Amino acid sequence: MAESLTFTAVDGIGEVVAGDDLAALVASLVELADGDVVVVTSKVVSKALGLATTREKDELLAEQTDRVVARRDATTIVRTHHGLTMAAAGIDNSNTAPRTLLPLPGDPDAEARRIRGRLHELTGRTVGVVISDTAGRAWRIGQTDIAIGCAGLLPVESFAGREDTHGQPLVVTAPAVADEVAGAAELASGKLGGRPVVVVRGLAPHLLTAEDGPGAAAILRDEDGDLFGLGSRDAVVAALADGGDVVRGFPATDASIADLVAMADVPDGVAVVVDGDAVTLVAGARQAVETGMLAQRLVSLATAHARPLQIGVRISS
């Protein structure tokens, strides 16, 4: 545990343009020490990489999108090709020239490693680097900065196997160190201060790594582990519209076809025949409407549980 932490926003960075050496700018303005963590906003990393563009936002958003998670009016939440889930794929138009858009760096972890290596080359110091960006939270109002790239520190610290002060075992506690550093650094830099770099000093040594480490990609939850892969309204639309095909964003479960049938509320007079991943519904003409409704419920349930399902209906006269 660190006894004290300091977060110092670096003055004098100025307007970053394509081709700028961010590490050289930082090294010229601040005296770094071994164990420092340098937090750099993604915005200036994108500017230095020459990613600023005047293309149409819809075109750029489509290019940056792996899949859409949710849409509400003008707001689109997407999963990017990085694996991040963000509004508008993290594309930003603030603190840049009018009608100019800034997409996120293509590989934020690689950029963190590059800046870290360059800082060591220029100063001889071994530091950590975090590339930060601003993101909302699904269940809370407002935004906070998170780490989209990092090098030289543990992105997450697992407490599994430890005990709390009452001797109870910790199972799932895992502080997201890189995100915590990014969020705290934003408090020091401010949104409108023109200070896109913050130096963090005093982080506990065991949170730093001699090598670059696994990067912020280690914080990303994969799709199979994401219990909220789609917005609630969007999940309903996907379940009803995709004809039973497996839809990305619905985590796979171990529910069997028999489980789905049990959940579907089979009406009286309808027989359900299960053969592997195939279900046949058998009913008389009087139950035709109820049978069609049952078929749709089964399709929706199969989609929601990421289960393949072939469904047939046989109506007798």
Structural domains in the chain, sorted by start? 6-51+105-220 (3.30.1330.100), 244-316 (no CATH)
pLDDT at 161: 65
- The pLDDT assigned to 137 comes to 87
Positive/negative CA dihedral, 54, 193, 84, 139: negative
Residue type, 208: L
Taking only the tens place, the pLDDT of each residue in 289-312 is 999 999 989 988 888 888 888 999
What span, in angstroms and rounded, lies between the C-alpha atoms of 251 and 227? 6
The per-residue pLDDT for 234 is 85
- With a CB cutoff of 8 Å and minimum separation 6, the contacts of 228 are 138
Question: How many residues are present in the chain?
Answer: 317
pTM for the complete prediction? 0.85
The b-or-e profile of 195-209 (16+ CB within 10 A means b, else e) is bbbbbbbebeeebbb
Q: What percent of the chain has pLDDT over 90?
A: 65
pLDDT digits (tens, 9 = 90+) for 186-225: 999 987 778 999 999 999 999 999 999 999 999 999 888 8
Q: Are 102 and 96 in contact (CB under 8 A)?
A: yes
Q: Is pLDDT of 239 > 80?
A: no
312 contacts 259 by C-beta, under 8 angstroms: no
**How confident is the model over 53-93, as pLDDT tens digits?**
999 999 999 999 999 999 988 889 999 999 999 999 999 88
Burial of 296 per CB tally in 10 Å (0-12, 13-18, 19+): middle
